[in-house]
Amino acid sequence: MVEHRMPQDPYLRVTDLRVRFDTEDGVVKAVDGVSFTVERGRTLGIVGESGSGKSVTSLAILGLHNARRTVISGEISVGGRQLVGLPDEEVRRLRGRDMAMIFQDPLSALHPYYSVGKQIAEAYRVHHPRAGRREARSRAVDVLDRVGIPQPAKRFAQFPHEFSGGMRQRAMIAMALVNDPDLLIADEPTTALDVTVQAQILDLLADLQAEFRSAIVLISHDLGVVSQVADDVLVMYGGRAVEHGSVARVLRTPQHPYTWGLLSSVPSLHGDADADLVPIPGNPPSLINLPSGCAFHPRCRWADDRSRLEVPGLRDAGESGHLVACHLSAGDRERIYRDEIVRVGVAR
């Protein structure tokens, strides 16, 4: 029985999500106790380096992990329906209709043997079994036109290799939107696109959200992209959430040393144009053998004995809704950010 959802409830609710993979080398703790919510009409940006758990989280929401090798625990609620433990067939009915995903590489996600339009029409007919070919084709052409592909009736019959990179990404968005899902997950939707096309794709997502009031999860390693389109941001490191809050608060007054590092390693319009970028030292941790305590402590200049021994939990960072997982006191974080971080030109 589907439980009724109150209007003010988030459309997507993830609570204490844990994802484990069994491998020959050991158990990969890909996601370790992540929680967040996304309401209709809002966008959550999830950021972090490769291996932080961003894409694994999104695939868990859509039920796309190999059930034989993956252990998932916690709660994932979409539209008031719990997905963890739901039979694969029931999750499949929701996938594409209630929730959909824009995959990172459209050239590999689209089948090279079938025309783009046929693949979009097939996605429509899966959830509308009574629809005929003519209706499905009309719907596919309409959605291709809606995402800004010129001459959509002609493009319907073309193959993925005949599309440019930007057009393939638009086609992937069209496929995700063909059934008007309420939840849209975009995994690095602007990767390998030039800045002009990137801006067009981001504007398109914003326009479509305004039209359909979809809840959007945007996965990216680029804080600049997230700052343009997201309402809230979740910073992940080593499979865990280290900072969470509104984009304005997290980017203007970041509280976690890892977030400082992400901001320091990208160019800023407000800093010294001749200043060197400051990379984060070291490498992301192994998800099989995570460091003890705070996973970021081997790369953190301000780590102490407590950081090496005790895993910090998310706690209030001093402003309502802004959470941080760090053992530094609020006063120390403010002093370090003001005296050492802002000085290199990352303040937004």
**Inside any domain, residue 318:** yes
Query: pLDDT tier at 319 (50, 70, 90 boundaries)?
Result: confident
Does residue 195 surpass a pLDDT of 90?
no
Residue with more model confidence, 326 or 1: 326
Q: What is the number of alpha carbons within 13 Å of residue 260 lying toward its C-beta? A: 23
Return the pLDDT at 5: 44
Our count of domains for the chain comes to 2
Q: Is 301 found in the same domain as 206?
A: yes
**Inside any domain, residue 293:** yes
Residue with tokens 């309401």: 39
**Inside any domain, residue 265:** yes
Q: Is 332 found in the same domain as 195?
A: yes
Residue with tokens 């939107």: 177
Q: What is the mean pLDDT of residues 333-340?
A: 85
Does residue 145 surpass a pLDDT of 50?
yes
Q: Is 47 found in the same domain as 28?
A: yes
pLDDT tens track for 3-33: 444 445 899 999 999 999 988 888 999 999 9
Residue with more model confidence, 342 or 241: 241
Q: Is 111 found in the same domain as 71?
A: no
Cα 283 from chain centroid (whole Å): 21
Does residue 326 surpass a pLDDT of 90?
yes
Q: Is 277 found in the same domain as 330?
A: yes
Does residue 131 surpass a pLDDT of 70?
yes
Residue with more model confidence, 155 or 109: 155
Count CB atoms within 10 A of the CB of residue 74: 16
The rounded percent of the chain whose pLDDT value lies above 70 is: 93
pLDDT tens track for 156-189: 999 999 998 888 988 998 999 899 899 999 998 8
**Inside any domain, residue 1:** no
CATH number of the CATH domain containing 279? 3.40.50.300
pLDDT tens track for 208-239: 888 888 999 999 888 888 888 899 999 999 99
pLDDT tens track for 43-65: 999 999 988 999 999 999 999 99
Return the pLDDT at 2: 41
Residue with more model confidence, 2 or 105: 105
User: Letter for the amino acid at 259?
Assistant: T
Q: Is 155 found in the same domain as 244?
A: no
Q: Is 345 found in the same domain as 236?
A: yes
Residue with tokens 């433990």: 85
The region of weakest confidence among 18-22, 127-131, 161-165, 267-271 is: 267-271
Q: What angle separates helix 165-177 from helix 133-146, to the nearest 10 degrees?
A: 120
Q: Is 261 found in the same domain as 300?
A: yes
**Inside any domain, residue 2:** no
Return the pLDDT at 208: 81
Helix (H), strand (E), coil (C) string for the chain: CCCCCCCCCCCEEEEEEEEEEEECCEEEEEEEEEEEEECCCCEEEEECCCCCCHHHHHHHHHCCCCCCCEEEEEEEEECCEECCCCCHHHHHHHECCCEEEECCCHHHHCCCCCCHHHHHHHHHHHHCCCCCHHHHHHHHHHHHHHCCCCCHHHHCCCCHHHCCHHHHHHHHHHHHHCCCCCEEEEECCCCCCCHHHHHHHHHHHHHHHHHHCCEEEEEECCHHHHHHHCCEEEEEECCEEEEEEEHHHHHHCCCCHHHHHHHHCCCCCCCCCCCCCCCCCCCCCCCCCCCCCCCCHHHCCCCCHHHHHCCCCCEECCCCCCEECCCCCHHHHHHHHHHHHHHHCCCC
**Cα–Cα distance list, 138 to 114, 130, 178 (Å):** 17, 14, 11
Among the three residues 131, 158, 180, which one is the final residue of a domain in this structure?
Answer: 180
Q: What distance in Å separates the CA atoms of residue 283 and residue 237, rounded to the nearest whole number?
A: 11
Q: Is 271 found in the same domain as 124?
A: no
Query: pLDDT tier at 259 (50, 70, 90 boundaries)?
Result: very high
Q: What is the mean pLDDT of residues 250-255?
A: 91
Identify the domain containing residue 266 by its residue range. 8-98+181-348
Among the three residues 180, 205, 233, which one is the final residue of a domain in this structure?
Answer: 180
Q: Is 151 found in the same domain as 90?
A: no
Return the pLDDT at 272: 62
Q: Is 187 found in the same domain as 174?
A: no
**Inside any domain, residue 3:** no
Does residue 328 surpass a pLDDT of 60?
yes
Q: Is 161 found in the same domain as 90?
A: no
pLDDT tens track for 284-307: 999 999 999 999 999 999 999 999
Going by C-alpha positions, the residue among 339, 333, 348, 346 that lies closest to residue 252 is 348
Residue 312: both structure tokens together: 């910090």
**pTM score, two decimals?**
0.89
Return the pLDDT at 1: 38
| Beta-strand relationship, 43-47 and 232-237 | parallel
The region of weakest confidence among 48-52, 143-147, 178-182, 269-273 is: 269-273
Q: What distance in Å separates the CA atoms of residue 86 and residue 64, rounded to the nearest whole number?
A: 13
